[in-house]
Amino acid sequence: MAIREILIYPDDLLAQVAMPVADPASDEIKALVQDMADTMYNAPGVGLAAPQIGVSLRVAITDTDWRSGRYDEIDEDKKVAPERNLKVWINPEFLWHSDALQTFEEGCLSVPEIYEDIERPAAVRLRWYDLQGVQHEKDFEDFLAVALQHEFDHLDGKLFVDYLSPLKRKMIRKKLVKFYKK
108 binds Zn ion (CB under 5 A): yes
Phi, psi at 34, each rounded to 5°: -60, -45
Active-site residue numbers?
151
| Sequence-ordered alpha helix ranges (H) in 20-162 | 27-42, 64-67, 142-155
Q: How far is the CB of 25 from Zn ion (least distance, A)?
A: 26
Taking the C-alpha atoms of residue 21 and residue 103, their distance in angstroms, rounded to an integer, is 31
161 binds Zn ion (CB under 5 A): no
CB closer to Zn ion, 128 vs 152: 152
Number of shown-chain residues binding Zn ion (CB under 5 A)? 1
Non-local CB neighbours of 179 within 8 Å, separated by 6+ positions: none
CB closer to Zn ion, 18 vs 108: 108
DSSP structure class, residue 57: B
Non-local CB neighbours of 182 within 8 Å, separated by 6+ positions: none
Which range binds Zn ion by CB under 5 A, 11-19, 31-39, 105-113, 170-178? Answer: 105-113
Q: How far is the CB of 15 from Zn ion (least distance, A)?
A: 13
Which range binds Zn ion by CB under 5 A, 63-71, 93-101, 108-116, 172-180? Answer: 108-116
- Give the interface with Zn ion as residue ranges (CB under 5 A): 108
